[in-house]
Chains A and B, each alone.
Chain A
């Protein structure tokens, strides 16, 4: 294979992984926009939904469609409980206190999953076909290609929904100023709960897709920490920016694997984050969220 072909193949796989990154990042950003809460438990919410899917399809031998519904409902319920029990009482408290709460929640979910399902790798029933997709004479692994397609369709759909629906307008109004939105008759509490539901949905889909492409372990959620670089690159509160940023980060990660020993891949997102913070902390599409002092 020519080096050029290898480069293109790596690039495609990387960009494909970026699709799922964008999906996860969207869940983080929607909550951030609605309530200025940065959800460090996103990865764990995603991992937990994949385990719900596992329980429904393997333990209770339901079909993948019912399994997906069970996972989705479970994921949304968990998100609403988190919002009601742990996040709402923290309203008005310092920013870092809320970040630490979400961090603690992540730790709880990881621990509970570890106790219930154990630390070993598990396989969920394949919902994505393995047969590779050929683009010309370039080979794209089947699961990666299909996961990418699903992720992008959902990300684009959600972006459009948030752009044009009433709920999306309410979300943007709350992001602009919670007090003004409230005085205009928008129920800001519901907007926050709504944002957690959106995050639960993106988390559930990305979790099941990730568990399909890789295997399922309690550490599946760690991927969400890599996604932080997507959020920063896109610009903290830019819903539209996630897709582009996701592709860029996914691509750079794959390219790093091509030029450097593969272990460097795992720190690529973090090195990128530091570079972005140094060069352009607003990200590509962000704006007023960065306050210099």
Chain B
């Protein structure tokens, strides 16, 4: 029985003062910026999608990984962000620097409205409240037809940044990259601040945290609001990315998708959120390619079972990581790196 409690495991990685690390980070960001020059558009499309998923996963990771607040409604808050953009831009012609922050703020307000009653109670109640948020918001997307245009959805004009319309995958990629970098740095800084330590204290032992002077309800609210804000920003970018918003995109399945991203990457790790988002973004594509390949070589069509296959595999990796490697890919990465360093020394 592996009864190791997750808690002790999830410590904060020390902020690295090493300039070498910073240099590598800089090189990495420059490489990301130069990527569209080297790779075909198909891959840039995936890079853009990955960026959006990273932002949303950061949000869920702050709530779930750092503060211990499980949300099953993350997709719906992403949807709130996306619809905010589609409506503000489509109806009122507002520019992206108004719509994107508004999307974040609106997602925060709605998230807190749903979370408030149950944030005061321990345990399962928040999970159920967020599940309720998922279904109720989805219902609103479908049925508030005068605003959301129902199942048909809304189309979104390209964002215009400094007079340039971001109407292909490369140009929108740069906008997404900017937000990924900012949101990653911001998440890292929050976690390394007083606020982040309060989040972790609540996750570890809420009563102890209260006793040493952490206002639990306030910080839970902050974590929940911050997570929803990230979801709203991710949704806003998704609207500009797909140039189209409809309710189908924001179902319970997408919430499960973000949940598995956090679990696979490693709860309570910034690097984990990035790795997890990459894993779950690329996995469906990998599954599609391999099943098409196997299908064509065996002479039958595997495309029909693709959706259930994806559901099965997502479930399996979630359960497997939770049981076998609760600290996720981030931990695997640290361990491998340590081993390599030791061998070199």
Residue numbers of A with Cβ under 8 A of B are: 38, 86, 88-97, 99-101, 103-115, 118-119, 218, 225, 228, 232, 236, 263, 266-267, 270-271, 273-274, 277-278, 281, 289-293
Task: Check if B3 is an interface residue, CB within 8 A of chain A.
Answer: yes
Q: A92-B3, A103-B259 are in contact. List 8 more A-B contacts (CB 8 A).
A: A93-B3, A95-B124, A96-B70, A107-B315, A270-B132, A290-B121, A293-B121, A293-B216
- B129: chain A residues within 8 A (beta carbon): 273-274, 277
**Given the interface contacts A90-B323, A96-B64, A291-B122, does A119 sit within 8 Å of B315 by beta carbon?**
no
What B residues does A93 contact at CB under 8 A?
3, 5-6, 326
Contact: B123 with A291, CB < 8 Å? yes
Q: Contact string, B304-335, partner A, CB cutoff 8 A, digits 1/0?
A: 11011111111110110011001000000000
A232 to B129 CA separation, bound complex (whole angstroms):
11
A232 to B259, CA, bound (A): 23
The distance in angstroms between the C-alpha atoms of A90 and B322, with both chains bound, is 8
A271 touches B132 (CB 8 A): yes
Which size class do B's interface residues fall under? Answer: 35 or more
Assuming the contacts A96-B68, A108-B312, asked whether A101 and B318 have C-beta atoms less than 8 A apart, the reply is yes
Q: Are A107 and B318 in contact (CB under 8 A)?
A: yes
A236 CA / B259 CA spacing, docked (Å) = 24
Judge whether A100 and B259 touch: CB under 8 Å: yes
A278-B120 Cα distance, complex, nearest whole Å: 10
> Is B309 in contact with A111, judged by CB distance below 8 angstroms?
yes
Q: What does DSSP make chain B's interface, helix, strand, loop or mixed? A: helix
Partner of A277, one of B118, B135, B136, B210: B118
Contact indicator A115/B305 (Cβ below 8 Å): yes
Contacts of A263 in B (CB 8 A): 139, 142-143
The complex places the Cα of A290 from the Cα of B128 at a distance, in Å, of 14
Q: Which residues of A contact B248 (CB under 8 A)?
A: none
A283 to nearest B CB, angstroms?
11
* Contact call B121/A111, Cβ cutoff below 8 A: no
Chain B residues closer than 8 Å to A90, beta-carbon distance = 322-323
B122 / chain A contacts, CB cutoff of 8 Å: 290-293
CA distance A260 to B334 in the complex (A): 56
Q: Which residues of A contact B128 (CB under 8 A)?
A: 228, 232, 273, 277
| Residue among B135, B142, B304, B314 with the highest chain A CB neighbour number at 10 A | B135
Interface status of B263 (Cβ within 8 A of chain A) = yes
B114 contacts A274, CB within 8 Å? yes
The 3 closest A-B pairs by CB, nearest first: A114-B308, A111-B312, A107-B315
In the complex, A125 Cα to B289 Cα: how many Å?
39
B271 nearest CB across to chain A (Å) = 20
